[in-house]
Amino acid sequence: MKSTMRAKLGAVVASLAIIVALSGCSNDGSDNNGTGTDSSSQDGGSGEVLAGSLTELFEQYLSKENLSDFEREVLERAVETGSISQADYDEAVNRYLKCTSDLGYDETATKLASGLYQITPPIFDTDAEADKYSEQSADCAEGTTMVIESLFNQQQNNPDLLADPRQTAVQCLLEGGFVDASYTVDDFDADMQDPGNASFDVSDETANAFLAAAGYSISIG
């Protein structure tokens, strides 16, 4: 039971880490509004983007009908200013944490260099407790962090708004000095299929943070 519990808890932590445990990766060739240089010819990716600019991406989400009043207010401000402010993102996280705290969960929120938060869940004794937490924490994210954090992550970690997360990962690894300019998305695919023989040290914490910023997670050991 304990072994199963540790595995389940690890899965919960990993899931949360992909969402919020990001250290940040930005492209100096971009003005952080989705107008960076086209990397499709550089890394072999398609170059397709999520939107023409951050403002356009915010407007896409603002048109959705199932937003909470809070989410709508944040997105309206983001459309006006061109970005989601740190204060608005912090408020989203605070609302999420209050929701989980009111349900009796003692989570730890660590603010990272990118401005995003790493949420560490409590330890559970049974699978049933972990399952209940997973469901209830997801409910708490609805209307608080789920939309705002996703967009804030794109703003902080994907300034070119690349639709292909592999391109984001390649750019991060290149900017971090883990690979050279000849590294392509095909090379990245090969490395993800065989991390033990990757072109870069996948056990490096910074490299792992860059991968997490693009939505990838590699377990070492």
Strands 108-111 and 117-120: antiparallel
Q: What total number of domains does the chain contain?
A: 1
Domain for residue 128, yes or no? Answer: yes
> Is 119 a member of any domain?
yes
User: Contact at 8 Å (CB) between 140 and 101?
Assistant: no
pLDDT of residue 5: 39
Write down the pLDDT at residue 34. 47
Q: Provide the 3-class DSSP secondary structure of residue 109.
A: strand
- Domain range for residue 198? 2-213
- Does residue 48 lie within any of the structural domains? yes
Predicted pLDDT at 13: 39
Contact 32, 57 (CB under 8 A): no
Residues facing 111 on adjacent strands: 117
| 115 in any annotated domain | yes
Give me the residues of the chain with pLDDT under 70, please.
1-46, 217, 219-221
Between the CA of residue 41 and those of 2, 48, 174, what are the distances in Å?
50, 12, 15
pLDDT computed for residue 46 by the predictor? 62
Is position 221 within any domain? Answer: no
Extract the runs of DSSP E, i.e. beta strands, from the chain. Answer: 108-111, 117-120
Joined together, the tokens standing for residue 25 give: 């990766």
What is the model's pTM? 0.70
**Residues 98-121: pLDDT tens digits?**
999 999 999 999 888 889 898 889
Question: Is there a domain that residue 220 lies in?
Answer: no
218, part of any domain: no
Residue 14 lies in a domain: yes
CA distances from 159 to 53, 112, 144, 170, 175 (A): 9, 18, 23, 14, 13
In this prediction, residue 93 carries a pLDDT of 97
- State the pLDDT at residue 35: 44
Q: State the pLDDT at residue 33.
A: 53
Write down the pLDDT at residue 215.
73
